[in-house]
Amino acid sequence: MTYRESSGRYLGVVVGGSMTRGVDVRLSPDCPVEEMALGQHVVIQGQSRRFYGVITDIALEWSDDSIRANPPDTSNPLIAGVVATSAAYAMLRVLPMLAIEGEFAMLDGPAPARTVPPHFAPVRLASEEDVQVVFGAEDSRHFWVGNPLDMETRVCLDLEEFVTRSNGVFGKSGTGKSFLTRILLAGILQKSAAVNLVFDMESEYGWMGTSEGTGMVKGIKQLFPSRVGVFSLDEDHSRRRGVSPDYLLRVGYNQIEPGDIDLLRENLGLSEVAADAAYSLARHYGQERWVRSFLDVSGPEMRELAADLNVNERALSTLHNRLSRFRRYDFMTERESDESVEEILRYLDRGIHVVLEFGRHRHDLSAYMLVANLLTRRIHERYVRRKEEAMGDASREPRPLVITIEEAHRFLSREVASQTTFGNIAREMRKYNVTLLVVDQRPSGIDEEVMSQLGTKLVCLLDNERDVDAVTAGTYGARELRSVLSRLDSKQQSLVFGHSVPIPVVLRVRDYGTAESYRELGFLEASEMRRQMERDADDLFGGRD
């Protein structure tokens, strides 16, 4: 199939620029500058190849300095028309990202641009066909996530590529992170690219989530009832919301390790000395019993214990005081076997995705972090062991797993990322078939090394300078992306860049919440489901006469 000349709208010609800054395009007088937008995709037709780029700046230029001091009389339509098409004009800055060579680009696909188009090369807005050549059509591994601004073409993520690395969804609160995450989870489910384990802090993904504007939306359990299991820490809360959890999760004091306390140090307001004391306590009482035994210590015994352990008594009693909060968690029990972890693994092994709801503990970050870290550590350990046991035999390897965590900067901050399981997972990529989907509103709080390892970033509106710096650091055209990023709409728009898209793209994220959107994701209403079953039965047993 040949790739015809682009049919997109003519914008102008290249008049200068460089590879690092991007090329300057003189906007044609017939093209109103108001209709241009940052982040729009354009194609530049060179002599032997076609360049695909992104608009990263739009500027008003003038060829006559005097009109800045004495603007012409634009109330006269003749003068206004002439000045707008001659002495005062608009320039676009376009960053060439991809080069498509030859006529058979449909087969070869695009490659990163390593040069710039020549002077006066014509520039057009990317047409639907251009976008499709670059992003690929929807198929068994490409999942439609949204449309470029002002276009109906579907932009697809290569989900098989996507799940091979840890990825991030970022954005200020209220800009659609959960919305986007829900779509990604549904996509991973629909394409069976991996199994999900979601630490669902706000109970938004499993069963009924809220979405600004449309109110309540279906969770992934409702879309794919037989392929998603809802685990809960708070049965009452789940039942009140009309969901009967598949499993009630419990955590035993014996399962808490000193490392978990280290992670919670900032949250619990512990000094380094106090957090270190946890290690001494674990040595003193033994891993299985240290929390329970320590919580039973009271009054004068504390001084003796401090002397025994050779730790500061005040630090020890602060630790005691903070750990006592765990008593309020009704999901904590004296002792738990690893049954919960086994159950999660059994689900995951069968290809059933697991959403863990926190119920009333959703406002308690310590509970969320404690449980997420504790479970992830154990699941990761199993995955590492099983992967090593499989010794390269793909059929024995565990299914690729994507762990979704919210408030990710708490788990992946500079201080703790090097010690936590989450930090390890983010750094080691797919080595053990486990990757992260981090959801966060403060990416600047995440360790730089972890950020640099994230494969694909889906970023909704961010306006804090440091956050914007953090997500764009190390990306080609970072400075240009920054300007695009701070101009995103606060609803249903996202800038996607990284490993699984060939070029950064601003998306209008696909709909989620309408009957049609559910159907497109593979959801069947009860009546449709019945018809489908009857059809299947007919196919299987032969049609009825």
> Is residue 75 near another protein by the rule CB under 8 A?
no
Residue type, 261: I
3-state secondary structure of 56: strand
CA distance to 385, 443, 515, per residue, from 347 (Å): 18, 31, 28
Binder to another protein among 20, 66, 321, 418 (CB under 8 A)? Answer: 66
For another protein, the closer CB: 78 or 391: 78
CB of 71 to another protein, least distance (A): 10
Is residue 494 within 8 A of residue 508, CB to CB? The reply is no
Interface characters, 14-33, with another protein (x: CB under 8 A) = ---------------x----
How many chain residues are in contact with another protein, going by CB under 8 A? 18
> Is residue 61 near another protein by the rule CB under 8 A?
no
For another protein, the closer CB: 73 or 536: 73
How far is the C-alpha of 199 from the C-alpha of 53, rounded, in Å?
Answer: 37
> Is residue 86 near another protein by the rule CB under 8 A?
yes
How far is the C-alpha of 253 from the C-alpha of 244, rounded, in Å?
Answer: 26
For another protein, the closer CB: 81 or 118: 81
Binder to another protein among 18, 48, 70, 298 (CB under 8 A)? Answer: 70
Q: Which residues pair with 112 in a beta bridge?
A: 98
Closest CA to 109 of 183, 182, 150, 52: 52
How far is the C-alpha of 50 from the C-alpha of 297, rounded, in Å?
Answer: 73
Question: Cα-Cα-Cα-Cα dihedral of 219, 220, 221, 225, to 10°?
Answer: 130
- Segment interacting with another protein, rule: CB under 8 A, options 12-20, 44-52, 74-82, 215-223: 74-82
- Segment interacting with another protein, rule: CB under 8 A, options 85-93, 212-220, 369-377, 468-476: 85-93
State how beta strands 401-406 and 195-200 pair.
parallel
CA distance to 239, 252, 453, per residue, from 415 (Å): 38, 27, 17
How far is the C-alpha of 269 from the C-alpha of 278, rounded, in Å?
Answer: 14
CB of 86 to another protein, least distance (A): 3
- Segment interacting with another protein, rule: CB under 8 A, options 81-89, 109-117, 263-271, 431-439: 81-89
- Segment interacting with another protein, rule: CB under 8 A, options 1-9, 63-71, 308-316, 323-331: 63-71
- Segment interacting with another protein, rule: CB under 8 A, options 72-80, 356-364, 420-428, 531-539: 72-80
> Is residue 83 near another protein by the rule CB under 8 A?
yes
For residues 460-498, b (16+ Cβ closer than 10 Å) or e, as one string? bbbeeeebbebbbeebebeebbbebbeebeeebbbbbbb
> Is residue 310 near another protein by the rule CB under 8 A?
no
How far is the C-alpha of 479 from the C-alpha of 474, rounded, in Å?
Answer: 10
CB of 42 to another protein, least distance (A): 24
For another protein, the closer CB: 10 or 476: 10
Cα-Cα end-to-end distance for the chain: 45
CB of 60 to another protein, least distance (A): 15
CB of 12 to another protein, least distance (A): 15
For another protein, the closer CB: 47 or 70: 70
CB of 482 to another protein, least distance (A): 34
> Is residue 540 near another protein by the rule CB under 8 A?
no
CB of 126 to another protein, least distance (A): 29
Closest CA to 103 of 50, 51, 44: 50
> Is residue 324 near another protein by the rule CB under 8 A?
no
CA distance to 163, 166, 408, per residue, from 438 (Å): 12, 8, 6
User: Which residues contact another protein (rule: CB under 8 A)?
Assistant: 29, 63-67, 70, 72-73, 76, 78-79, 81-83, 85-87
